[in-house]
Amino acid sequence: MYGRPDRDGEEQLGLLGSAWENTAQHWQDGVARQFETDHWAPLAERSRAYLGALRTLLDMLETAERDTEF
Amino acid sequence: MTRVHADIEALKGFREALVRFRYAEREVAERADDAIEATRASLAAKASGWQARLEQDRAALEACQATAAQEEAPADCSAYARAVQQSAERLEQVRGWQQRVDQDASEFRGTASGFRDLLETSVPRAENQLQAAAASLEAARRVEAGPG
């Protein structure tokens, strides 16, 4: 049974964020800092932007369905 | 696990988490597309239904008006007129939502396309970077440990 995809996506991003925090505790060299700047930060930011847009869209789709149930 | 290898294990663990994330979010994106198409189909069916209902109500109104024109005492066709008006309003409302969904889905498509590109290109690149970093650390530890 699926829930709303935006919520599942946010949950996955949360899990990945926790995994990164755990990794960052153990990996603290220059390569790690470069990885955070080049990969992790953009990935997290773009994922949040997508999931936010998806949430707005799905809210609108639900409203459209409700508003046309006569 | 010794402390000296904790970073390598953490790197490998995060790489595995990234792979899981990539697959899970790809499915999220597919379900988002499905949701858009499902709503479009639903609204199209509603529009079709209310279009048919409007034509039916108009025919009933015209029949009432034709009958009224033939009779000495005019028949009351106001209920038929109200039904036509209500069907027309509901059809208009559904069509308004169809336009809104098309417009918002079109705007969303740009963000979704960027996210798919992230999943298909940037995330695998990050996975490769982690793999290379772990390999590099492992090689350095072997050198530090020396022969034997």
Q: How far apart are CA A45 and CA B61, in angstroms?
A: 58
Q: Is the pTM of this model over 0.95?
A: no
Contacts B35 to A, Cβ<8 Å: 5, 58, 61
Choose the mutation target among A16, A28, A69 for the interface with B, i.e. most B CBs under 10 Å: A16
Determine the residue type at B147. P
Whether B7 contacts chain A with CB within 8 A: yes
Q: Is A27 in a helix, a strand, or coil? A: coil
Give domain limits for chain B: 3-145
Q: How far apart are CA B92 and CA B98, in angstroms?
A: 10
pLDDT band at A1 (very low <50, low <70, confident <90, very high): low
Judged on CB neighbours under 10 Å (0-12, 13-18, 19+), B2 is exposed
Per-residue model confidence as pLDDT tens for chain B (148 residues): 455 688 999 999 999 999 999 999 999 999 999 999 999 999 999 999 999 999 999 999 999 999 888 877 778 999 999 999 999 999 999 999 999 999 999 999 999 999 999 999 999 999 999 999 999 999 988 888 777 5
- Which among A23, A63, A14, A50 is positioned nearest to B33, based on CA atoms? A50
Task: Output the pLDDT for position A17.
Answer: 98
Tell me the longest C-alpha to C-alpha distance in chain B: 116
Residues in A 1-60 with any Cβ partner in B closer than 8 A? 2, 5-6, 8-9, 12-13, 15-16, 19-20, 22-23, 25-29, 31-32, 35, 38-40, 42-43, 46-47, 49-50, 53-54, 57-58, 60
Q: What is the DSSP string of B94-119?
A: HHHHHHHHHHHHHHHHHHHHHHHHII
> Across the interface, do B21 and A12 touch by the CB < 8 Å criterion?
yes
Q: What proportion of chain A, given as a percentage, has pLDDT over 70?
A: 99
Task: Output the pLDDT for position B87.
Answer: 98
With CA atoms as reference, the chain B residue closest to A53 would be B108
